């Protein structure tokens, strides 16, 4: 099944917590789609790491760390699924 919508927007929504990536949800994508999702996740993760919240704002730091955690979890889930299915990404 093709990716519905913009893959970069989907990766941002994963980082914001609106979507989650599970092995069950990954089964419907083709290897080319999985590669596109991986590239989008890596790009959003790189952008999120570059953000610098104000030094004293604990809430902004917490939100950034939570976003990084969600994106890292999604990347690891995708990588593990592709490794199990022997799909090169």
pTM above 0.85, yes or no: yes
Say if 1 falls within a structural domain. no
Say if 2 falls within a structural domain. no
What pLDDT was estimated at residue 2? Answer: 78
% of the chain surpassing 70 pLDDT: 99
Question: Whole domain around residue 78: which residue ranges?
Answer: 7-85
Residue-averaged pLDDT of the chain: 94
Say if 27 falls within a structural domain. yes
Say if 17 falls within a structural domain. yes
Distance CA(26)–CA(88), nearest Å, equals 14
Say if 63 falls within a structural domain. yes
Q: Tokens standing for 17?
A: 């917590």
Total domains, the chain: 1
Say if 25 falls within a structural domain. yes
> Per-residue pLDDT tens for 41-80?
999 999 999 999 998 999 999 999 999 999 999 999 999 9
């Amino acid at each position: 099944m093709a990716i519905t919508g913009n893959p970069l927007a989907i990766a941002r929504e994963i980082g914001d917590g609106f979507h989650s990536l599970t092995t069950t949800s990954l089964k419907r994508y083709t290897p080319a789609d999985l590669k596109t999702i991986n590239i989008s996740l890596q790009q959003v993760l790189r952008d999120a790491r570059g953000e610098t919240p104000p030094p004293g704002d604990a809430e902004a730091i917490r939100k950034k760390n939570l976003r990084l955690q969600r994106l890292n979890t999604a990347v690891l889930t995708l990588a593990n699924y592709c490794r199990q299915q022997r799909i090169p990404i």
